[in-house]
Structure 1
C-alpha cells in the first residue's frame, strides 16, 4: 500500500514540481510551482474546475433528492416495493462504460428515445451531447439515473432504523404523512445525508471514464470538460506530464477537501 498508493502519490507530486514532458528522465534539480501557476492562468483549467463544481453540486443534490423521495415511497409501503427497489438498484451494478453506452444510444439526435419522446410533444430534437448548452446537463442526468439508487438505499436504511412510535405519535396528533416526514423524520436523517453526499461527490470526481466512454474523446465537447479529462489529455495526448501531474495533485486536494471534513465529523461522533 505504501509503495503502490502513497509512493505513487508522492512521486506524482514530485513530478508536478518539474517541467517533465515524458522524454528522458525528470530533472529534479530545480523544483518549483510553475505548473500550478500555469494551471491557475489557464482558461481551460478554470473552465474545467467550474464544470467540476457544477457537476458535483447538481449531481449530488439531485441524487439525494430523488433517493430520499424513493426511500420515503418504499418506507411508506407502496405496492410492488421489492420490485421497485430492485429496478432502482440495478443501475448501480453497471459500470460507467456500460451506462455511457446506454445513454449514448438514448441521446442519439435522430433515433434516441429521449428525442423521440420530446418530439412527440411537439418540441424540436436536441443534439444533447454536441450542444454546449445541454451537454453537461445530459451528463448529470445520466449520472443521477445511475446513482440515485445508492442514495435511496442509504436513506431507506436510515428510515428503517427509526422507531415506529414516532409515526404513531404524529398520527395521534393529527399530523399528515407529508408533515410527519418533513418535520420529524427527514431532520433525523442527517447522518445518512452526509454519508451519501460524500460518496456521491467522490463519484462525481471520478467521472472521467464515463465522459470518455460517452463522448469518445480526451477532449469532450465544450461545456463538459472537467479536471480529470483535462489531466489525462494534457499528459497522454500532449505529453505535458508535469502539467497533468499538477492537475492530478489539485484533484487529489479537492477529494481530500471532501473526505477530510466527513472523517472529522465521524471522529467527533465517536464512529472512528
Structure 2
C-alpha cells in the first residue's frame, strides 16, 4: 500500500509538471513566453494613448522644438563666438569671452541690478495690493462685478498703450500726477518723474503695478472664494480678530495662488522691454536700464550680436530660475 501511494504521488507530480510546461502563456502578470511577451508589448504600444495622440501633438511639438529650443541653442552658440553681425559667424573658435566681458561691464551691472529691483519690487507690491483689494472685494461690496471689471481693465492693455498713458501722467507740466499734488498743496513734491534718475525706476514700477495688480486681485479672489465659510466661523468663535484670522488662517491657504501669480508677474517684468522702449528708446540711462533693453541696444543698435546673445542668455537663465522651480513643484504635486 505504501509503494502504491508513492507511485501515485510520483505520477501526480509528473502530471503537474507536464501541465506547467504545456500551459499557455499568461497575460495577467505571471510568467509569459518571450515571443508572446514581445507581441503583447507591440500590440499594447499600437493601442496606447501615446501613439493615438501623436498626430495631434507631434507636429506642433516638432515646430516648438525647432523654432524655440533650437533658436535658444543657436543663440547660446552665437554668444560663444565673436560675431559682430556682418558676414557669417566663425564657429571654429568658441570661447566664453562675451560672458567674461559681462563681468567687467558697468552697463551690464546696472541693467542687472535694475532688473532684479524691478522683479522684486514690482512682484511684491503687486501681490500685496492685489491681496488687499481681493480681501476688500470678498466682503460682498456693492457693485462688485463692476469694480472688478474696472480694476482688471488695465491688464488688457498692451505695454505700448500703458507707456503712452503714463508718459502723459508723469508729464512735469501738464501730467495728472503733478496736477494732483499741486491741487492738494504739495507742490514741493512735484518731480520730473521720467527725467530724474532718482525716480525713473520707481515711476516704472508704480505704473506696472497699476497695470497688473488687478490680475493679482482676481487670482487671490478665486483663492478666497474657495476657502469654506466654516473656517471663518470657527476662527471667529475662537475669538480671533480679523487681522489674526487672515494672517494665521486664510493667507497661508493662498500659497498656490501666490505662486501662480508670482510666475506670471515675473515673466511680464522680464518682458517690460516694450514699456521702457516707448518711454525712453534704446537709452533709458543707467538708473532705469534693464537687461532686455540692453540686449536690444547692444545687438541691433551697436550691431554686436555675440555680446547681445550673451545678455539674452543671462535673461533666459533668470526666467528659467523662476519657472523651473515652479514647474518642479507642480510636477511633484501631480498637477502637470
Tell me if TM exceeds 0.5. Answer: yes
Runs of 4+ deviating beyond 4 Å = none
Matched with 1:263 is 327
**Structure-2 separation of matches of 1:67 and 1:184:** 18
Counterpart of 2:191 in structure 1 is 126
Normalised TM-score (structure 1): 0.97
1:234 to 281, 294, 298: 298
Offset from partner CA, 1:177-234 (integer Å, 9 cap, x none): 332112211111111111111111111111001110122x111133100000000000
Q: How does 1:211-222 map to 2 (within 5 A)?
A: 211-215=276-280, 217-222=281-286
1:63 has 2:126 as partner: yes
Aligned pair count reads 271
Q: For residues 82-136 of structure 1, what are the alpha-carbon distances to aligned partners after superposition, in whole Å with 9 as ceiling and x for unaligned?
A: 1111111100110000000000000001000001112222333211011000000
Matching of residues 92-111 of structure 1 within 5 Å:
92-111=155-174
Is the contact made by 1:36 and 1:246 (CA closer than 8 Å) also made in structure 2?
A: yes
Judge conservation of contact 1:231–1:245 (CA < 8 Å) in 2: yes
- With normalisation by structure 2, the TM-score equals 0.79
The answer for the alignment partner of 2:204 in structure 1 is 139
Partner of 1:161: 226
On the 8 A contact 2:110/2:286 being kept in 1, the answer is no
Distance in 1 (CA, whole Å) between partners of 2:66 and 2:259 is: 32
For structure 2, the 5+ residue unaligned runs are 1-63
Name the SS of the counterpart of 1:239 in structure 2.
coil
Distance across 1 between alignment mates of 2:186 and 2:250: 41
**In the alignment, which residue of structure 2 is the partner of 1:81?**
144
- Select the structure with the greater relative contact order (CA < 8 A; seq sep ≥ 6): 1
Output the CA distance in 1 between the equivalents of 2:103 and 2:318. 15
